[in-house]
Each structure stands twice: as structure tokens, then as C-alpha cells.
Amino acid sequence: MSSPDCRYSFEFFPTKTEAGHEKLLNTARRLAEYKPDFFSCTYGAGGSTRDRTLNTVLQLDRDVQVPTAPHLSCVGDSKAELRQLLTTYKDNGIRRIVALRGDLPSGMGLASGELRYANELVEFIRAETGDHFHIEIAAYPEMHPQARNFEDDLTNFVRKAQAGADSAITQYFFNADSYFYFVERVQKLGVEIDIVPGIMPITNYTSLARFSDACGAEIPRWVRKQLEAYGDDVASIQAFGEQVVSQMCETLLAGGAPGLHFYTLNQADPSLAIWNNLKLPR
């Protein structure tokens, strides 16, 4: 059962084509009917989606009329470029931002930005814009893949939270205990901000497995084995995935998670199936 104070949000990525953008807008319009607290839109580190992210955010915010948060990453962007974007967002009435370090796409060389870690970006946003933005940061219940170890990653998360973040969204995971353990540990270290689970609906095993390896999210063995056993049977993969993720969300909300953030991959149905299973408010 979710508390009335819970917050719900949907994440999109900016598309390269007109057709992809139309699809994104249709998805966003459908999801807007469920009255989420906000949408967010990813940013290609190094500025590869700078204009597309900006245009998508402003369009979702203005035309679809759901407050929309741009993601902003600091590797590969100069302070001047970041400042410019912050000013544009502020001038357009955007009030929330997801502040990240980012990962430069392979082939873009070494990071050339002036800020190296997300905690420095949070400090920069606060210094430049005061309290204008609600700042979200990323959290990794199963540890960031480049962290030296879990304890080190916790320390880094605490530093980032204390740099001026208002709340956090986690990397996706499929084991509710990892989330509860992470929250308990950082709360003991003095973190008081809400940490909202990031939810990845399961729709395609091959791409999920590849992406999970890269971002350090663990697919539990029993889930992996069952998904593998379905082979090309997409309907069974989706039905099983929906059941697994819905049950996990139920456990998360019952255990006090302050909301859910859906990684939609620009599709409405997989997130809405979970939403409806959970009987979340419309």
C-alpha cells in the first residue's frame, strides 16, 4: 500500500528522429493522465544530447504540462556550458534537476570537464542558482560499478547528498533488500533525504542483461534462469517480468520507500502495467 505522500515519476530519453520524438510525446501524454509528480529526461554525457534534452524537457514541461526535470552531467561539459544550461532552465521555469557525473560514451576520449564528480556538480548548481532547483542525485544500492568497494561508495554518496541534494533516485535493482540495506546504512551516516527506487520494467531479456552488466545491476539467478528459459517467447518474458517487478514494488512501498521512479525507455505500457497492478492513484 503506498502512502499518499509518495511521489511517482517517469524517465525518458531524448530521441534522434522525428518519429521517435512523436512516439515519446504520445507516451508522455498517456503517462500524464496518471498525474505523476514529474517527468525526467536524460542527458548524454559530454553534451551529446544537449539541445535534444533541452528541447524535450521544455516541450514536456510546457505542452504536456507535467513538471519536467532535465538530467545534467558534468563530465565533458565546461562550467560555462553548465552555467548556460542552468540559466536557460531557470529562465523557463524548470524547478528540478537530476545532477550526475555521467559516463562519456566510448570514443569520446578522457573527460574534459572541469567538474569530476557529481558532488562537485551539486555544489556548482547551488553556488550558481541558490535554492532555485530541487536537486536529485543518483544512488546505487548495489554499488556503482567503478567504486573501489561498497563502503567507499557509501561515503561518496553521503558527501554528494550533503553537498546540497534534496532527494535521490536509485539505479534499478531487482532485490528489494539491497535497497533497504543501502537506505539504512546511509541514514545511519546522517543522510535524511528521500531515496526513491528506480524501477526498470522487464521487457527484453537480452538488452536488459547487457545493460545490467554495464551499470552493475544484478539480475537474481532465479529471475535470469527463468527469463533465459523463455527464449524468444516475448509475451512470457513480459508477463513474468511484470509479476516480478510489481511484487518488488509492493515490497518497497510496504517497507517505506517514498515513491517510485520508472525508467520507461519511452514506452508507456510496461510502466502502466506495474502501476495498475499496484493500484497506484490516478
* Interacting residue ranges for ligand FAD, rule: CB under 6 A: 42-43, 45, 71, 73, 98, 100-103, 117-119, 138, 144, 146-147, 152-153, 156, 159-160, 169, 171, 198
Q: How far is the CB of 264 from ligand FAD (least distance, A)?
A: 13
Between 2 and 73, name the residue whose CB sits nearer to ligand FAD: 73
Between 96 and 160, name the residue whose CB sits nearer to ligand FAD: 160
| Whether 136 is catalytic | no
Between 27 and 171, name the residue whose CB sits nearer to ligand FAD: 171
Q: How far is the CB of 215 from ligand FAD (least distance, A)?
A: 6
The DSSP symbol for 174 reads S
The owner of cell 554495464 is 214
CA 203 to each of CA 23, 63, 200, 218, 256: distance values in angstroms, whole numbers, following the listed order: 17, 29, 9, 16, 27
DSSP 205-243: HHHHHHHHHHHTPPPPHHHHHHHHHTTT-HHHHHHHHHH
Residue tagged active-site, from 11, 120, 142, 242: 11
Between 138 and 237, name the residue whose CB sits nearer to ligand FAD: 138
Coil/strand/helix, residue 125 = helix
Q: How far is the CB of 226 from ligand FAD (least distance, A)?
A: 26
Q: Which residues are catalytic?
A: 11
